[in-house]
């Protein structure tokens, strides 16, 4: 067989797979952001929230990237000591977040991490300048391993979110109709218009397509891509793309094993 269409299938595979992962992760991410927005709005509606002798929580906001908690502290609070020891207070709060057993608080922090958001905690006190402690999403996730970032939960959430969007057209003549997560693979199923895609050629170029897709995945520095790859590796799963010609019923498969991610 003369290999006249090899470049086009590889290029199409890369485009489709990039869009495929992107839409799955974006859809899931948007759902998490909506959930977080509702939770922060609910918390804000309860403000001011008394914190005993410490003062009050006066406001909670979320701008799409950062959740901010505002605290108004009483005269018992030594602003000077706080300002001089911000690093120690930062670690102290992380330790408290990690050990907090309140279910609603855990759910809120879980939502912050799932939405890939950071957290700012702003302390105000009369006669002193505001002090802000900044916590990155990674800090929050790393300090709460027992209930945040579970690989199985994360992958299942991507499946559920993406299924709501199916069928998805990734390029003319190529439609993702189904996604499945089993014990071995995260699999995308595509129907291909054979007037636009030569299934025989896609089968013939399987090795080249595999190498190109693997290179694209391993070279990506996008945080969402990297997180999904890590979650797949943590559960010893690979990625599989199954293309079916809608006329002939023939299949072309690209499989990336877990150890290749």
Which domains are seen in the chain, by residue range?
7-30+153-260 (3.30.300.250), 46-149 (3.30.300.250)
Which pLDDT score, from 0 to 100, does residue 2 have? 36
User: Which has the higher per-residue pLDDT, 240 or 76?
Assistant: 240
pLDDT above 80 for 48: yes
Rounded mean pLDDT of 205-234? 81
Whether the Cβ atoms of residue 163 and residue 25 lie closer than 8 Å to each other: no
**Cα distance between residue 179 and residue 172, in whole Å:** 19
Which pLDDT score, from 0 to 100, does residue 3 have? 37
Exposure letters 207-228 (e unless 16+ CB within 10 A, then b): eebbebbbebbeeeeeebbebb
Q: Report the candidate in 167, 175, 187 with the shortest Cα–Cα distance to residue 232.
A: 187
* Distances, alpha carbon 135 to alpha carbons 30, 58, 138, in Å: 21, 19, 8
49-106, pLDDT tens digit by residue?
887 656 788 999 999 999 999 988 776 556 676 777 788 778 777 766 766 666 778 8
User: Which has the higher per-residue pLDDT, 233 or 217?
Assistant: 233
Main-chain phi, psi angles of 33, to 5 degrees: -65, -40
**Cα distance between residue 59 and residue 72, in whole Å:** 9
**Cα distance between residue 17 and residue 158, in whole Å:** 15
Chain-centre distance of CA 203, in angstroms? 32
DSSP 35-100: HHHHHHHHHHHT-SEE-GGGEEEEEEEE-SSEEEEEEEE-TTS-HHHHHHTHHHHHHHHHHHHHH-
Q: What is the mean pLDDT of the chain?
A: 79
Non-local (6+) Cβ contacts of 112 within 8 A are: 36, 67, 119, 137, 140
DSSP structural state of residue 172: T
Which pLDDT score, from 0 to 100, does residue 190 have? 93
Helix/strand/coil for 133:
strand
pLDDT above 90 for 258: yes
Which pLDDT score, from 0 to 100, does residue 99 have? 60
Q: Which two tokens stand for residue 195?
A: 């007037």
Which pLDDT score, from 0 to 100, does residue 14 have? 58
For the chain, percent of residues with pLDDT exceeding 90: 31
**Cα distance between residue 199 and residue 244, in whole Å:** 8
Rounded mean pLDDT of 143-154? 60
Which pLDDT score, from 0 to 100, does residue 188 have? 92
Non-local (6+) Cβ contacts of 5 within 8 A are: 198, 201, 205
**Cα distance between residue 49 and residue 104, in whole Å:** 15
């Amino acid at each position: 067989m003369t290999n006249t269409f090899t470049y086009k299938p590889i290029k199409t595979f890369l485009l489709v797979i990039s869009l495929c992962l992107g839409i799955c992760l974006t859809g899931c991410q948007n759902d998490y952001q909506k959930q977080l927005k509702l939770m922060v709005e609910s918390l804000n509606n309860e403000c001011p929230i008394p914190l005993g002798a410490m003062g009050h929580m006066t406001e909670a906001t979320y701008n799409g990237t950062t959740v901010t908690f505002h605290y108004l502290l009483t005269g018992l609070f030594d602003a000077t000591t706080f300002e001089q020891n911000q690093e120690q207070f930062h670690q102290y709060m992380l330790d408290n977040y990690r050990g907090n057993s309140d279910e609603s608080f855990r759910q809120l922090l879980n939502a912050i991490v799932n939405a890939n958001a950071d957290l700012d905690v702003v302390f105000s006190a009369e006669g002193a300048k505001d002090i802000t402690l900044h916590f990155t999403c990674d800090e929050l996730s790393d300090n709460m391993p027992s209930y945040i970032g579970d690989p199985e939960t994360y992958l299942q959430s991507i499946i559920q979110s993406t299924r709501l969007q199916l069928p998805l057209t990734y390029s003319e003549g190529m439609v993702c109709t189904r996604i499945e997560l089993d014990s071995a693979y995260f699999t995308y199923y595509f129907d291909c218009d054979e007037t636009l895609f030569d299934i025989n050629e896609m089968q013939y170029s399987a090795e080249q397509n595999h190498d190109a897709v693997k290179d694209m995945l391993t070279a990506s520095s996008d945080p969402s891509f990297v997180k999904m790859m890590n979650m797949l590796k943590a559960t010893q799963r690979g990625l599989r793309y199954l293309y079916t010609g809608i006329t002939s019923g023939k299949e072309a498969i690209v499989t990336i094993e877990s150890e290749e991610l």
